[in-house]
Amino acid sequence: MANPGKNPAVRLEGPDGDGIATVWIDCPDSKVNTLSVDLLPEFEALFSKIGADSRIKAVVIASGKDAGFIAGANIDDLGLVRTVAEGAKLSKNAQDSFRKLEKLGIPTVAAIHGDCLGGGLELALACTARVATDHRKTKLALPEVMLGLLPGGGGTVRLPKLIGLANALDMMLTGKNIRASKALKLGLIDAAVPAGKLLESARKLAVDLAHGKPAHAKKKPNVQEEVQTFLLEGNQLGRRVVLHEARKKVLKQTKGLYPAPLKILDVIGKGTYEAEAQGFGELLLTAESHGLQHLFHAITALKKDNGPGTEGVTAPKVTRVGILGAGLMGAGVGTVLADQGYTVRLKDRDHEAVGRGLDYARKVFGKARKRKVYGDAGYDERMARISGGTDYSGFGRCEMVIEAVFEDLGLKQRMVDDIEKVTQVGGIFASNTSSLPIADIAAKAKHPERVIGMHFFSPVEKMPLVEIIVTPKTAPEVTAATVAVARKMGKHVIVVNDCPGFYTTRALVPYMTEAIFLAVEGFALESIDEAATTHGFPVGPITLMDEVGIDVGLKVMKVMKEHYHDRMQFPPDISQALIDEGRLGRKNNKGFFKYENGKSVLEKGEKVVDETVYKHLPNGAATQAGNLPEMAERMILGLCNEAALCLQDGTLRDAYAGDLGAVMGIGFPPFEGGPFRYMDRIGVKTVVEKLKALEAKHGKRFKPCQLLLDKAAKGERFF
């Protein structure tokens, strides 16, 4: 679909014999098109040129890149804004440009393939009509909320008018991607066509519009739909009700920690371009937006990091992957791999376990089919890629084997030995351990250079991170191949150096152990969770222990205690007593909280603590609520100090990886941007002072690391 030849950023072609001109958008020296401050004047000049040419009867706007339409605004422009007025002007400039497009006086058709996001969709909304390809890569979205912002190019005004208030709120408050089939149903686009027919279809629609024909036949709503639309959206009272209910839902989900969704509701309530520009400017200066923008920069920077020594290395191709262990983790990994086109072979001890692993894939693929991500053929194709058994049949041809067995060093070493005997292709052995050193797992290997860590997070199909762990012996081509597989799985990747617990587990342990210290001191379990969630963690540490499994947590804690007892402090070990009582967490309906059939028992919407668990704590059921900010700070500062230690000792290769790993892997509040950005925000000197005060009160676990002391003394930041 790309226009041949080298194009400037914006170029006019035509008109042709039917009076149809084409505007090609093709930002030079970039794989994708983005809307930058410098690009808007080019658009305006081109629109003026079109308006002055009486030969042009209609315009098609298309991308000169195969990768997509427009991927949104250039985020670097946002970093230059210093005042609310400057931010509002940025929005107003975009609004003015798109208004000129809207008021050309002739039909305009956006021809969309690939990403049509943010400002790209706002440009398309300013067109008379939109045609998109039905390709799986085509996605339409207004994701500004994910950067702590709102649409600033007229989207808050145009989108509700086009698809209705409720649908527009859903798009803007979630930032979620909309595929062509859903976009057509919503009325967001006027046609969904095969990729090879895009320009032809867009031109035909432009000709029809130029001759006064409608873009498409509007479906006449039934009486019930008409009444519902009028009651909820067709009058001011109904709109207020919809916005009020949306606000209640937002506050429940975000606890008021994210200003962008609330500002979006305010701006849509006013319904003006002026309110949009002012709201955009105000949000752009918030700490939350700065943190989320920082996270975006971390993601962008780490896309280029394939690991140490990989520059110029060609990664061997991986098409077949063996999975050792068909439990929740192994089945999850296998399911995502099969979804992305890999041939997958599961192995477990018995056929029942293998069957449960295959059932897991059926369940995940079945949900996707139900959501119409793909049809029956797509479901069958994916299930055909994944198989299983109780022996190593099929493993000989696997270029990669991922083990997801119990956290037992001897067992993992035997797995390495078995695979080295079986494989015929010199395959990669990737361990999904969460704490055991990869060098120890590879200690008896004939080819330690082929052994690498590949730490997934559960549930694999939902969690966005893979932590890849390399030893001094890991071959660069093995690292590059493993990174490539993880990225093809749709994951964000951080590559760290080997040590017990790597980065994410090491950073998480002080956070989790501090939660137990708080429980031992007599703070209520629900208060400990609340302290974390009111600061922005998705779940509290007590809930997390139940979710991961108390038995799994104990195994990890034993590894960490063995290696870090000299500087870490560990609370009284209550885990073994809980396990002896058969209290493993949600998986067996018995943990810190109450469960029935794997689901939390709720009272007034809140999880219910199993009061019998307090018999394992020194103060019994005599608990206190405590000061939530102080409790949260104890947990967070321990995590931050350990993150800095990981950077100091070289486990982390840069601070960006530390921030992305903490947010995507262990739930650090996204609006803070990660632990390193958090320390920059409050000041490294302040962090050190707080850690020293906690050390004096609670002990060595809060002793600030040397890197923090040095930065505090020099007044330095991490970024």
CA distance 496 to 455: 11
Q: Phi and psi for 16 in degrees, rounded to 5?
A: -90, -170
Q: Say which DSSP state 392 is in.
A: -
How far, rounded to the nearest angstrom, does the alpha carbon of residue 667 sit from its chain's CA centroid?
11
Angle at 675 between CA 707 and CA 432, to 5 degrees: 100
Q: Does residue 15 have a cis peptide bond before it, meaning omega lies within 30 degrees of 0?
A: yes
**Which are the catalytic amino acids?**
467
- Rounded to whole angstroms, the Cα distance separating 612 from 615 reads 6
Strands 68-70 and 10-13: unpaired
CA distance 111 to 136: 16
Per the rule left: phi > 0, alpha: psi between -120 and 50, beta: everything else, 68 is left
* CA within 13 Å, CB half, 256: 1
Which neighbouring-strand residues pair with 593? Answer: 609
C-beta separation of 668 from 537 below 8 A: yes
CB atoms within 10 A of CB 536: 20
Contact 637, 687 (CB under 8 A): yes
Closest CA to 442 of 405, 418, 412, 478: 412
Closest CA to 130 of 191, 76, 59: 191
Distance in angstroms (rounded) separating the CA atoms of residues 357 and 694: 46
Residue 461 and residue 336: Cα distance in Å, rounded?
6
